[in-house]
Amino acid sequence: QQQQQQQLQEEEDKSPPPLHVAVKFSRDGPSVLRREIDALQQISRHSAHPHIVQFYGIVKHMEGGDEAQFGLLFDWCPFTLADRTVLVKAKIVELVAQVADALHFLHTKHGFVHRDVKGANVLVQKPTKNWSEAVAKLADFGSAKALVGIDEAQTFHVGTAEYKPPEARTGRYVPESDVYSLGKCMVMIRGRGQSAIFRSQSRAHNDWKSIEEQCVLKDWKSRLKADKVRDLLRQMQKPGGAGTDHPPGVAAAQGGGAADPPRPPPMSPAPAAAAAAAVAAAAVAPRAPEGGPRVVVCGVRAFCVVLLSYK
């Protein structure tokens, strides 16, 4: 019996670590959910991108005589670019550069415009206790649309008002429309002044402001391309670059602050039960191979936490 227990322990030690995922149930109706699924499937068909949230599949939930609800399985990312903790402790210049890289990938590899870039739609994952290793992941593709005609996506009433580019008023969206929204994110980040690079008129502060101003120009043809935004932000971080010319205290904000205690996801009994049932009924979700990773489904906002093993 002792030998058997030892063998079981050895097998447990060899098993892959749990895969943490989030379940998203849409409140916007099936058409928005379908559009997001279509966009995610097209984007992930050929290759994943490290700064676009990973889509794992769909779960279905039915309760009583209610209409079936469908949820999407994503990477578990407990923070967003709008969170104060991220703005204070993470390498904010690199996180925004990662978002710009994700947009460049969308625009050039897949011919998509996101159309709703904002802080709340940029998830932040912290794979270790060190904030310097935090990773940005662009999410929420319910408004994404393929480019048509002369690189334009025509539509109305999508996105968030304060991040909308001027051309959106006529329903016109181009890749530079996403750059405008990213520039507005940069304005928000600088305006909140949480990161130490914005606490004085440093070279980094001025360079950041210069980049954001070139993102939010009224004429979309004059704006920076997403890859140029990425390159300029990364240039700031190189030795001798503006990102290294900081006042005292910036090292913590740019190089990662003290380790943060684990942040438990918010719980709500009803949504938790719904999500747990949805995962249990995950016949429509992709199945992991025999002996594959355990999956930890973690809540996003009002969702749940449940641990299970796919077999």
Higher per-residue pLDDT: 63 or 227: 227
Mean pLDDT of 128-149: 85
Q: Which amino acid is at 90?
A: A
Q: What is the pLDDT of residue 45?
A: 76
With a cut of 80, say whether residue 82 has pLDDT above it: yes
Residue 157 pLDDT class (50, 70, 90 cuts): low
Residue range 228-272, pLDDT digits in tens: 999 999 999 987 666 554 433 333 334 444 444 444 343 333 443
Q: Cβ(183)–Cβ(239) under 8 Å? A: no
- DSSP states along 52-95: BPPEEEEEEE--TTSPPEEEEEEE---EETT-HHHHHHS-HHHH
What single-letter DSSP state applies at residue 151? T
- List the beta bridge partners of residue 294: 309
Strands 112-113, 294-298: pairing is unpaired
| Alpha carbon 177 to its chain's center | 18
Contact criterion met (CB below 8 Å) for 45 and 87: no
Q: What is the mean pLDDT of residues 170-195?
A: 92
Interatomic CA distance for residues 265 and 78, integer angstroms: 7
SS3 212: helix
Write down the architecture of domain 79-255 according to CATH: Orthogonal Bundle (1.10)
pLDDT of residue 88 exceeding 50, the answer is yes
Is the Cβ–Cβ distance between 93 and 236 less than 8 Å? yes
The mean pLDDT of 54-61, rounded to a whole number, is 85
Of 29-33, 40-44, 163-167, 296-300, give the range with the top mean pLDDT: 163-167
Least confident of 84-88, 101-105, 190-194, 249-253: 249-253
Which pairing describes strands 153-154 and 19-25: parallel, antiparallel, or unpaired? Answer: unpaired
Structure confidence at residue 280 (pLDDT): 42
Q: What is the pTM of this model?
A: 0.73
Domain residue spans in the chain? 2-76+263-309, 79-255
Sign of the dihedral defined by the CA atoms of residues 143, 175, 54, 231, in that order: negative
Q: Which of 214-228, 235-249, 297-311 has the lowest mean pLDDT?
A: 297-311
β-bridge partners, 172 = 154
